[in-house]
A = this chain, B = another copy of it.
Amino acid sequence: MASVRVGVIGAGWIGLDHMRRLTQVVPGAEVTAVTDVDAERAAQAAARFPARTLPTGADLVAAPDVDAVLVTSWGPTHAEHVLNAVAAGKPVFCEKPLATTAEDCLRIVKAEMASGRRLVQVGFMRRYDAGYRELKDVITGNGIGAPLMVHCAHRNAGAPASYTSPMAAQDTAVHEIDVLRWLLDDEIVSAQVLTPRATGRRHPHLKDPQFMLFETARGVRIDLEVFVNCQYGYDIQCEAVGETGVARLPDPAAVSLRSAGRHGRAVLQDWQHRFASAFDTELREWVAGVAAGGEPQGPSAWDGYAATVITDAAVESLESDGQVVNVDLQDRPVFYSP
């Protein structure tokens, strides 16, 4: 079986990491072409994971030795590249966000529907994490009865000065937003962002932590602590409360150590390690799907659209002193039925 020939648009660190993954971890794929707005960066990537460079994303999408496209460029350019790929009828994997505005997301949705088949997958990797998958199995298998509440926390050790208050929703909470829609098989209908006492260990412009509340169509209440300067490590918590039980996402397995008066485990310091296996599985399944000629099974363009609309609502709440903001999603077309 011939390898899937992947073209990569954007050779920043996530692009490079995916090139490494396609080359060294995922079977059945090869990177044939790479492009970047910085030609030098593209050349270095092409040298490291042998591929040719192309001047533009459009060239890369059009290249005959590119079967499928991976978009890992700067967020605001995603829509253009994805639309090009859809127009070319080529499968495209786009790192989140699908697009930076709801309008652009909808343009992609419409173009994809017009093309008659699903081509787009968005890079929400948590759906591929073994822990979340087991959690979904428990919920789907009626292990806790009907879900009523979900308590979440998303903590990072620290955030750079470039991290702004809206990014708590756009870049951070967006992962929970996607994975909870999938976990609950439910839609989020409102968002609210409260601001607890701020930590002193942050850049002064930043509201951190933030406490977010979401409600779903079925009335499930989700609360999410986003705390990006928690100091102690990268820590993802998710506890689903149902009518008959409570299920909790596992912490990563780690050696327990009894030493110096303490009994404990190391906390991971970065999200790459936390979700390394999820990234591997995500690309492995995507490549296998492309090779098999089927439609992508992962997060769809619709999921990308919904995530953008919901994060917009959260940002609006943040900027209006914590008002409850309704999520104004269009009706989901049958084309995107799960």
Are A209 and B148 in contact (CB-based, < 8 A)? yes
A259 at the interface (CB under 8 A from B): yes
Are B256 and A244 in contact (CB-based, < 8 A)? no
Task: Mark A259-284 against chain B: 1 for CB-CB distance below 8 A, else 0.
Answer: 11111111101000000010000001
Are B223 and A251 in contact (CB-based, < 8 A)? no
Knowing A27-B24, A232-B246 touch, does A146 contact B259 (C-beta < 8 A)? no
Smallest Cβ-Cβ distance to A211: which chain B residue: B221
Of B153, B241, B250, B263, which is within 8 A of A227 by CB? B241
Are B259 and A196 in contact (CB-based, < 8 A)? no
Are A243 and B199 in contact (CB-based, < 8 A)? yes
Q: How far is the CA of A27 from the CA of B22 in the complex (A)?
A: 9
Knowing A27-B23, A196-B220 touch, does A252 contact B253 (C-beta < 8 A)? yes
Are A265 and B263 in contact (CB-based, < 8 A)? yes
Of B1, B197, B258, which is within 8 A of A232 by CB? B258
A130 surroundings in chain B (CB, below 8 A): 253
Q: Choose, from A32-40, A131-139, A166-174, A327-335, the stretch at the interface.
A: A131-139
Of B27, B151, B194, which is within 8 A of A221 by CB? B194
Q: How far is the CB of A236 from chain B (nearest CB, A)?
A: 12
What's the interface size class on A, roughly? 35 or more
Q: How many copies does the complex hold?
A: 4
Q: How far is the CA of A265 from the CA of B248 in the complex (A)?
A: 10
A143 surroundings in chain B (CB, below 8 A): 257, 259
Q: How far is the CA of A187 from the CA of B227 in the complex (A)?
A: 23
* Contacting residues of chain A (80-107) with chain B, CB-CB under 8 angstroms: none
A29 surroundings in chain B (CB, below 8 A): 27
Of B144, B233, B252, which is within 8 A of A261 by CB? B233
Of B25, B196, B213, which is within 8 A of A219 by CB? B196
Q: How far is the CB of A41 from chain B (nearest CB, A)?
A: 23
* Contacting residues of chain A (121-178) with chain B, CB-CB under 8 angstroms: 130-131, 134-135, 138, 143-149, 151, 153, 155
Are B211 and A223 in contact (CB-based, < 8 A)? yes
Knowing A27-B27, A262-B266, A263-B251 touch, does A243 contact B201 (C-beta < 8 A)? yes
A250 surroundings in chain B (CB, below 8 A): 253-256, 265
A230 surroundings in chain B (CB, below 8 A): 241, 244-246
Smallest Cβ-Cβ distance to A138: which chain B residue: B255
Are A220 and B243 in contact (CB-based, < 8 A)? no
Known A143-B259, A245-B259; further 20 A-B contacts with Cβ < 8 A: A24-B27, A25-B284, A138-B257, A145-B199, A149-B196, A149-B209, A149-B211, A149-B225, A151-B223, A196-B219, A197-B218, A200-B243, A209-B241, A225-B241, A231-B260, A232-B259, A235-B246, A252-B253, A262-B265, A262-B266
